[in-house]
Amino acid sequence: MCSTTSIRTAASLIVCRLSAGSTPDFSVLLLKRSPHGAFGGLTVFPGGAISPSDFDPLWTRSTSHSTIPSPISKVGSHLAIAALRETFEESGVYITHNPPDSSILQDWRGRVYNDASQFRVMANQLNAYPALSRLVYWANWITPTTMPKRFDTHFFMTVVDQECGWGGRVAADGDETITAEWMTPTHALSLFEQKKITTLPPQFIMLKELSTMSFSQLKGMVDSAHTYLRPIEPILPEYIGKSGQGDVVMALPGDERHSTSSPGWTGKRRITLVKENGLVTGLKLEESTTTGLKL
């Protein structure tokens, strides 16, 4: 057990854009991690650990900066700043209402990558502030206690459209990330099923959720993000054993064997990590059609 392992706080951003003619009708920005990093070779949403500069009070004091909406401040404005900053560093995408020229942002991207505090300097000098009011708080995943490296990761979602675009050219940073691609959730899941990409349980489950939605649904949520905070409960998967094939099985909140379930609760919501040669090559989500208290 590794329950005493310290947990690092992190933030991630799900960026969606309209993709007419596809099913669903939008694409998400996905990055492939460098094989030499902590999440070697995995395909994930942009994101990373919180930086001290994300707490800078000048983010909220700047008279040029649009007021941070109360829903975001309840979650933690530093988390939203971190998600937007990491997305810019790793993919070149800067979510803002006033996108600067991409050539200007390219120079700033290198500066921010080397010094996170330059993110606020950039926003001030370019008069282009992160569009915090366009972020939807999407999920909060905590790494299981059995893992040697643990993160408390807060996921946000936004859409890019005529009301809020992005500045910069979409490209991997060449260090932490090696590819940056737009793909529909269903295509990403298909590639995963074909073992052409690998990912983590949070991304797998969120891609499944997104695959059932439409761009108009997502846009509606983003449009109301400045007044509405999506109710989110932390998700901490718990080890409950191994399958008949020897694969690790983790219970999620809502499963009858999860510690948060009430006595007498029945139902399954668990994920199996399929391994080959010691590496996770597949994920299987099992959910009961009905859950509730045993009578």
Q: Among 1-15, 59-73, 88-102, whose mean pLDDT is lowest?
A: 59-73
> Quick one: pLDDT band at residue 64, thresholds 50, 70, 90?
very low
In the prediction, which pLDDT does 230 show?
A: 86
Q: What tokens appear for 111 in the block? A: 């500066």
In the prediction, which pLDDT does 295 show?
A: 37
> Quick one: pLDDT band at residue 103, thresholds 50, 70, 90?
confident
Tell me how far apart the alpha carbons of residues 49 and 83 are, in angstroms, rounded to a whole number.
9
On whether the pTM is more than 0.85, the answer is: yes
Q: State how far the alpha carbon of 280 is from the alpha carbons of 28, 247, 273, in Å.
A: 23, 9, 6
The CATH number assigned to the domain with range 9-223 reads: 3.90.79.10
Instruction: Look at 234 and 293; give whichever has higher pLDDT.
Output: 234
Tell me how far apart the alpha carbons of residues 219 and 241 are, in angstroms, rounded to a whole number.
40
In the prediction, which pLDDT does 289 show?
A: 57
Residue 149: phi and psi, rounded to 5, are -120, 125
> Quick one: pLDDT band at residue 1, thresholds 50, 70, 90?
very low
Instruction: Look at 67 and 107; give whichever has higher pLDDT.
Output: 107
Residue range(s) occupied by CATH 3.90.79.10 in the chain: 9-223
In the prediction, which pLDDT does 98 show?
A: 83
Cβ-in-10-Å burial (0-12, 13-18, 19+) of 171 comes to middle
Cβ–Cβ < 8 Å for 53, 195: no
Calculate what percentage of the chain has a pLDDT beyond 90. Answer: 61
**1 SS3 class:** coil
Tell me how far apart the alpha carbons of residues 112 and 128 are, in angstroms, rounded to a whole number.
15
In the prediction, which pLDDT does 63 show?
A: 36
Mean pLDDT of the region 170-199: 92
Mean pLDDT of the region 47-55: 96
Tell me how far apart the alpha carbons of residues 6 and 2 are, in angstroms, rounded to a whole number.
9
How far apart, in Å, do the first and last CA atoms of the chain sit?
Answer: 35
In the prediction, which pLDDT does 176 show?
A: 85
SS3 content of the chain, % helix, strand, coil (to 5): 30, 30, 40
Look at residue 211 and tell me whether its pLDDT is greater than 50.
yes
Q: Amino acid identity, residue 274?
A: V
In the prediction, which pLDDT does 44 show?
A: 96
